[in-house]
Amino acid sequence: MPASGAVTRNTLRQQIADALRDEVLAGRLQPGQEFTVKQIAEQYGVSATPVREALVDLCAQGLLDSDQHRGFRVHQYSVDDYRRIVEARMLVVDGIFRRHAPPALPLPPVPPVEPALGVGVALVSIRRRGEAAARAARGGDLDILIGYDIRFWRELGRLVAANDYIADFLHRLRVQAWVFSVPYLRSERDVLGWLWSGHVDLVDALTRSDAEAAVEIVRNYNTHSLEWADRLESRTR
């Protein structure tokens, strides 16, 4: 019985953390917005303990800040923070492709995401996520895009990196980048010009074992992200 109770609490803790993360990504919890454990517990109708644990988890992920006197607040990333996130992402992804694909050599087979799935099957699943993300990007639907984009990159990271620590790190960077981007993108007049929709092209390159093309697609995407950061920075000068 004690073990079952622990599992239930941990599950509730994760559910609350996921729900709050989604609130931040949707822009319903704004950067700098403050709240307390009591407020969140009342909102979800649960006890304070799993809420506090969930909020601490989100602090560790860089999404919230803790103030022992005022509770918690949504972390506010600067343009420079975003630029560093993109640069970190670039370094890690380039390193992954360098490891798997030395110059002039094709991308070798990558271990499957799950033992029961082959690489081809895994890529088909990831491609479906990519197709949904690309459609949302072309349609300017941020709410749909964010969910599919995060899942797309998480699955792809696990497949290509073949290392859960690297994949989890990239996932954290992806979420942090979206947390920064959402408030700005929702106010963009030309949002379609800044939403990346190259998910399917990237999967197709990997399916062909064309590491050079895959690297080029990702680098262009990151360059596009840095150009957007430069544009945002120029607005504040």
Report domain extents, the chain. Answer: 2-74, 79-235
Report the pLDDT value the prediction gives residue 235, as an integer from 0 to 100: 78
Question: 2-74 maps to which CATH number?
Answer: 1.10.10.10
Q: What angle do CA 67, 69, 57 make, to 5 degrees?
A: 35
* 202 within 8 A of 47, measured Cβ to Cβ: no
CATH of domain 79-235: 1.20.120
pLDDT of amino acid 9? 57
Q: List 72's β-bridge partners, or say none.
A: 35, 66
pLDDT of residue 105: 34
- β-bridge partners, 71: 67
Give the separation between CA 95 and CA 25, rounded to whole angstroms.
28
Q: State if pTM tops 0.75.
A: yes
> Which tokens belong to 41?
């517990």
How does pLDDT run along the chain (237 residues), one tens digit per residue? 344 444 455 689 999 999 999 999 988 899 999 999 999 999 999 999 999 999 999 999 999 999 877 899 999 999 999 999 999 999 998 888 776 553 433 444 444 444 444 566 788 899 999 999 999 999 999 999 999 999 999 999 998 888 999 999 999 999 999 999 999 998 888 888 899 999 999 999 988 888 888 889 999 999 999 999 999 988 766
pLDDT computed for residue 93 by the predictor: 87
For every residue of 85-151, DSSP letters joined together read HHHHHHHHHHHHHHHH--TT-PPPP---SSTTS-HHHHHHHHHHHHHHHHHHHHHT-HHHHHHHHHH
- Report pLDDT digits (tens) over 98-145: 765 534 334 444 444 444 445 667 888 999 999 999 999 999 999 999
Closest CA to 120 of 135, 132, 109, 130: 109
